[in-house]
Homo-oligomer: A and B are copies of this chain.
Amino acid sequence: ELADMITDEKPDGVLAGLRVLITAGPTREALDPVRFLTNRSSGKMGFALAAACQAAGAQVELIAGPVNLPTPIGVRRYNVESAQQMLDKANERVGKAQILIATAAVADYRPRAVQDDKIKKSSDSIALELEKTPDILGELSRRETHLFTVGFAAETRELERYARAKMQRKNLDMICANEVGPGQGFDVDENALLVFWPGGQQQLGPRHKRALAGELVDLIATRYATGDEHAGAVAP
């Protein structure tokens, strides 16, 4: 009985002994002290994946943009706001991880100049100059070649085409595509994913994000176990 208890203390599950870094939620890109650009990401999928990875035996760190969700038990959470803050924190935490799951809906563009004071409503129209935010997932994936990287692609159309292009461009081991639009994907509890990897694909769901997360973790563990197929190892 004592032996059983001691054995139970060792994590088991399909991700036992692995460290997983997860990004989740939207980012906010400030125009001024009060206004910002953001998106409809609720963070639910990333938080569900954090819980599922933890349940599968992994040590999980979660870098979260501004969301209204409780931290899953056993998960270490870091709160950030902007894409730049998310990149900085990911750079700091990625070293020991074997798997990176990037669910965050990072803002693609940010205002080029942040105003110190609130912008006054004076002219009838203004042109807001936007510049690209850092490519967090692509940067980490290309630099950390040991890392098994899982990306997400929320698309309004041409799911497979855009998702496979993103996987290749960012040098990912896997990409999970889902269709978004009113009542789909963002800010809802149900989701469906079309998962692609260099040599295959699989449909998961539609079902509750928590159940979907468990299935995706199983698939990630299976693909991770194939090891030598890591995109990081074969990229130019």
Binding site for B on A (CB under 8 A): 31-41, 68, 105, 107-109, 112, 116-119, 121, 124-132, 154-157, 180-182, 186
Give the CA-CA distance A182 to B118 in the complex, in Å. Answer: 12
* Residues in B neighbouring A180, C-beta threshold 8 A: 33-34, 118
Known contacts A34-B41, A108-B119, A128-B129; 6 additional CB pairs below 8 A are A33-B180, A34-B105, A35-B37, A35-B107, A36-B39, A125-B132
* Residues in B neighbouring A128, C-beta threshold 8 A: 127-130
Give the CA-CA distance A8 to B180 in the complex, in Å. Answer: 52
* Residues in B neighbouring A127, C-beta threshold 8 A: 127-130
Whose C-beta in chain B lies nearest to the C-beta of A184? B33
Give the CA-CA distance A148 to B166 in the complex, in Å. Answer: 55
* Residues in B neighbouring A130, C-beta threshold 8 A: 125-128
Is the CB–CB distance between B125 and A129 below 8 Å? Answer: yes
Is the CB–CB distance between B109 and A126 below 8 Å? Answer: yes
